[in-house]
Amino acid sequence: MLTIKRLYPSTSIICSCQAKQLLTKQISFQSTTVLTTDKKEKQDIHSKFPLLDTRFNQYQIAYRYRRSIELLRGYLVYRLFSINFLVNNQSKIAEWGQRILGTRLFQDVIKLTSFGHFVGGETPQEITPVIKSLLQYGVKPILDYSVESDDTGKSLSPDENDRMHDHNTSKFIECIKTSHDVCGVNNLVAIKVTALISPGVLKKFNALLNSVENRSLLPPLFEFINQEQKNENMVKPFQQSIKSYLAETKNKISTSITLTNDDLTEIYNLLIRLNRIAQACVEQKISIMVDAEQTYFQTAINYLATELQRYYNKNNETFIYGTYQCYLKETLASVKHDLAQAEKYNYIFAAKLVRGAYMEQERRLAQQYGYEDPLNENFKATSNMYHVCFDEVLKSIAKRSSGQVRVMVASHNEDTIRYAIQKMQDNNINRDSSVISFASLYGMSDYVAFALANSGYKTYKYLPYGPIESLQPYLFRRAQENRAVFEKANKDRHLHFKALKDRFLHLKI
Ligand SMILES: Cc1cc2nc3c(=O)[nH]c(=O)nc-3n(C[C@H](O)[C@H](O)[C@H](O)COP(=O)(O)OP(=O)(O)OC[C@H]3O[C@@H](n4cnc5c(N)ncnc54)[C@H](O)[C@@H]3O)c2cc1C
């Protein structure tokens, strides 16, 4: 038995840098001009792409892919989310709704409202028309088979656990194949590590990694898995190799959590599952984005994502993207560390930058258990963190050879999008370059995404799909993010209304 201490991320790196103010209220030809060294190419690109209005008000462009009935639904959903009482009590309302209407009828209501607006469908067949309508306007879908789990204290039997995680692995592989078949090669799908291992074990693994001073000294995991998989059962050698590493570094690891042989077996099975998913990516020429989750999992998730990159992002192929949550105080340090590792071991660093989706839960837990809040103090600090992390990645893009560093600006925040666009211009990065791309969630900020795509920027939409019951946490998070207090939810609602009115007046129904 091994004992290790559970630690939450404690490094406090608070970004002091101020976000750069950008011109926001102008139709900006200059700020979106594509710079190329070759004058002719420059002219071609100019004529190829329309200008970008960085006020992002073009509802005529934003909703072309939506039918009028879908626009009406979108408007109503944003109206519902503007009622704080509903958003604050959504779990209770969902519980009561199911009791009164019965599960079936309740699910039908959800399907006609928020699920219909924010989710592509339940199956690959259902999402195929949605994918095609996005592609028609230059927006690439990132398929997201939505399964995730949290540490609720409830536990399944080991067999049930294994079956569920194997099932989720097959679903992710099916998702990779769907992406290949419907969208073509070089597309992306998203995965969540919590769908592949029990949350309790992932939490312990996280605590272990938090207490390891230098994680890069750990044995390269996927080299081990790929070499040893050829042999029969490698669980025992895996357990031994991790244990012997820990024994060597024992004095550097504090002790109070226990990793049993069963836990190590689960971690081994997780590596096997991740490896199967990565191999499916290689076969289908599709990349995966490893989503970021709560801090009590995130060190482990980030570690696994970078280990996958170390093994799979070689030879100019980018199969794995990680995720950095800029609401965390420690994110700049992680980005710097991981960029340096990628350079040192000569693999492609690929990441999406997000602000972070679990703010309320993180703050509540920090308060409840009395540890330092891992999140930035306020929104401004989070935005600053986003921008300095982006700058750090840009430095590395300039330093390393072409295509070795890639970043996705995954945000609905217009200031952040403008910041990235401006920086692309400052750094002579073409707008259709694949090293910098933009992404938003299906059903949100279409006025940004479709405008970017229309002007030639590489633009993606996360397109979640899956059974309604497993998408509930996702829909709850969307409701929280779109409640009345947020300006962009009002803008979404307002522009849905304008587009709808426009269609009725011009009878384009
Ligand atoms: C394509 C895509 C993929 C995503 N993948 C992930 C993922 O893998 N993991 C994940 O966690 N999230 C993910 N998200 C969600 C993301 O983290 C945000 O929750 C969401 O996008 C809202 O942030 P924003 O930048 O779009 O917009 P904004 O509305 O400008 O920002 C809202 C965000 O700012 C931060 N914030 C707000 N108030 C404060 C405060 N007082 N103090 C500190 N921070 C504050 C919070 O992170 C909040 O969610 C993803 C989002 C997109 C678009």
Instruction: Look at residue 507 in the predicted model and tell me its pLDDT.
Output: 61
Sequence-distant (≥ 6) Cβ neighbours of residue 1 within 8 angstroms: 258, 259, 260
Sequence-distant (≥ 6) Cβ neighbours of residue 270 within 8 angstroms: 165, 193, 196, 197, 202, 304
Element (H, E) at 11: none
Element (H, E) at 481: helix 472-481
C-alpha–C-alpha distance, residues 273 and 364, integer Å: 32
CB 271 within 8 A of CB 221: yes
The encoded tokens of residue 233 equal: 């059962």
477 CA: nearest ligand 1 atom: 19
292 DSSP 8-state letter: -
**What residue type is assigned to position 271 of the chain?**
L
The encoded tokens of residue 315 equal: 């030879």
C-alpha–C-alpha distance, residues 336 and 385, integer Å: 12
The helix, strand and coil proportions of the chain, stated in percent and rounded to the nearest 5, come to 55, 10, 30
Q: How far is the CA of 251 from the centre of ligand 1 (A)?
A: 38
Work out the burial of residue 136: count CB atoms within 10 Å of its CB; fewer than 13 is exposed, 13-18 middle, 19 or more buried.
Answer: exposed
Q: Looking at ligand 1, which residue's alpha carbon is closest to its atom 50?
A: 354
| Side-chain half-sphere exposure of 138, counting CA atoms within 13 A | 19
What are the C-alpha distances in Å from 504 to residues 62, 73, 112, 491?
17, 15, 22, 20
The encoded tokens of residue 335 equal: 């980005």
Instruction: Look at residue 230 in the predicted model and tell me its pLDDT.
Output: 54
Which neighbouring-strand residues pair with 259?
Answer: 2
Which neighbouring-strand residues pair with 375?
Answer: 328
Q: Looking at ligand 1, which residue's alpha carbon is closest to its atom 9?
A: 292
Per-residue pLDDT of the chain (509 residues; tens, 9 = 90+): 333 333 333 322 223 333 333 333 333 433 343 333 444 444 445 557 888 999 999 999 999 999 999 999 999 999 888 887 887 888 888 888 888 888 888 888 888 888 999 999 999 999 999 999 999 999 999 999 987 677 666 677 888 889 999 999 999 999 999 999 999 999 999 999 999 999 999 999 999 888 877 777 777 889 888 886 555 566 777 777 777 776 766 555 555 667 788 898 899 999 999 999 999 999 999 999 999 999 999 999 999 999 999 999 999 999 999 999 999 999 999 999 999 999 999 999 999 999 999 999 999 999 999 999 999 999 999 999 999 999 999 999 999 988 999 999 999 999 999 999 999 999 999 999 999 999 999 999 999 999 999 999 999 999 999 998 888 888 888 887 777 556 677 899 999 999 999 988 876 54
Q: Identify the three-state secondary structure at position 193.
A: helix
Q: Are strands 2-4 and 257-259 parallel, antiparallel or unpaired?
A: antiparallel
| Helix/strand/coil (H/E/C) assignment for every residue in 67-121 | CHHHHHHHHHHHHHHCCHHHHHCHHHHHHHHHHHHCHHHHHHHHHHCHHHHHCCE
Instruction: Look at residue 229 in the predicted model and tell me its pLDDT.
Output: 58
CA 56 from chain centre, in angstroms, equals 23
C-alpha–C-alpha distance, residues 391 and 41, integer Å: 27
User: In 10 A of CB 128, how many CB atoms?
Assistant: 16
| Helix/strand/coil (H/E/C) assignment for every residue in 222-246 | HHHHHHHCCCCCCHHHHHHHHHHHH
CB 434 within 8 A of CB 404: no
**What residue type is assigned to position 203 of the chain?**
K
The residues spanned by each domain of the chain are 8-64+137-220+284-466
Q: Looking at ligand 1, which residue's alpha carbon is closest to its atom 44?
A: 379
Rg, C-alpha atoms of the chain: 23
Q: How far is the CA of 382 from the centre of ligand 1 (A)?
A: 9
Q: How far is the CA of 446 from the centre of ligand 1 (A)?
A: 16
354 CA: nearest ligand 1 atom: 17
CA 231 from chain centre, in angstroms, equals 34
CB 287 within 8 A of CB 319: yes
Torsion of CA 352, 264, 165, 179, to 10 degrees: 30
Q: How far is the CA of 411 from the centre of ligand 1 (A)?
A: 7
Backbone torsions φ then ψ of 328, nearest 5 degrees: -85, 140
C-alpha–C-alpha distance, residues 507 and 149, integer Å: 46
Backbone torsions φ then ψ of 346, nearest 5 degrees: 60, 50
Q: How far is the CA of 217 from the centre of ligand 1 (A)?
A: 32
Q: How far is the CA of 439 from the centre of ligand 1 (A)?
A: 12
431 DSSP 8-state letter: T
Element (H, E) at 181: none
Element (H, E) at 39: helix 39-48
Query: Which amino acids bring their CB within 6 angstroms of ligand 1?
Result: 291-292, 323, 325, 327, 354-359, 375-376, 378-379, 382, 410-413, 439-441, 462, 481, 486, 488
Q: For 8-64+137-220+284-466, give the CATH class.
A: alpha beta
Backbone torsions φ then ψ of 140, nearest 5 degrees: -90, 135
